[in-house]
A and B are shown apart, each in its own frame.
Chain A
Amino acid sequence: DAGITQSPRHKVTETGTPVTLRCHQTENHRYMYWYRQDPGHGLRLIHYSYGVKDTDKGEVSDGYSVSRSKTEDFLLTLESATSSQTSVYFCAISEFDFKGNTIYFGEGSWLTVV
């Protein structure tokens, strides 16, 4: 298994509070991603990073911000959580090698906003 650790794995928070999800990798991969997965919507890209301090928006970035100050850590912040952000959040990493590029996923973080 790829060395990806997400924390927390489960969280319940109240509407309007800030929430930060952390993704830590031990693979030294350049690319890191945050996805959310919801029934009927599949897996949607929130933000991704292509290097330290280099990030860009994905399909559903409104209400989310990210930071990457070290190669191994990619943080996703919900500045003011809303019920529509209740979801399962997956961190992923990727790198180019002689085989091509494969994306590896963490085990997910279940977030409930009440």
Chain B
Amino acid sequence: SQQGEEDPQALSIQEGENATMNCSYKTSINNLQWYRQNSGRGLVHLILIRSNEREKHSGRLRVTLDTSKKSSSLLITASRAADTASYFCARVQAGNQFYFGTGTSLTVIP
């Protein structure tokens, strides 16, 4: 994508393990957000981190942002089978433009 990428493309872990996925971006952002998509559905918002923040938590989710490296990571702790989905980061630019990448497909094995 012209706007950046998520990696890995696919991740398979056992239930109870932690899952980490990464997001890179190329241009300046107002904030960065993470979304989840279940198969055949629209994306659902998980968490937002502003460009002046470095870390944010929400339940089992932890997001970090490194603006010097233009990268973010999403950590899901103590994963569950229900966490199986695709995860996307949204690079939010001026003008409220949201750009997504190819996402990370997470499979949590019971």
Contact = CB atoms under 8 A, between A and B. Distances in A.
Nearest to A105: B42
Contacts, number: 67
A74 interface: no
Given A90-B42, A105-B43, A40 B100 contact: no
Interface residues on B, range: 20 to 34
Contact of B96 (A31, A35, A41, A43): A31
Interface residues on A, range: 20 to 34
Interface stretch (B12-20, B44-52, B63-71, B76-84): B44-52
A102 interface: yes
Interface stretch (A12-20, A65-73, A92-100): A92-100
Contact of B50 (A33, A44, A100): A100
A50 B93 CA distance: 13
Nearest to A48: B97
A100 B48 contact: yes
B96 A42 contact: no
A84 interface: no
B103 A43 contact: yes
Interface in B15-48: 31, 33, 35, 40-45, 48
Contact of B1 (A33, A44, A106, A107): A44
B102 A35 contact: no
A45 interface: yes
Interface string A19-60: 000000000000101010000111111001010000010110
Contacts of B45: 102-104
20 contacts: A35-B100, A40-B102, A41-B1, A42-B1, A42-B102, A43-B88, A43-B103, A48-B97, A50-B96, A56-B95, A59-B1, A59-B3, A100-B48, A100-B50, A102-B48, A103-B33, A103-B45, A106-B42, A107-B42, A108-B42
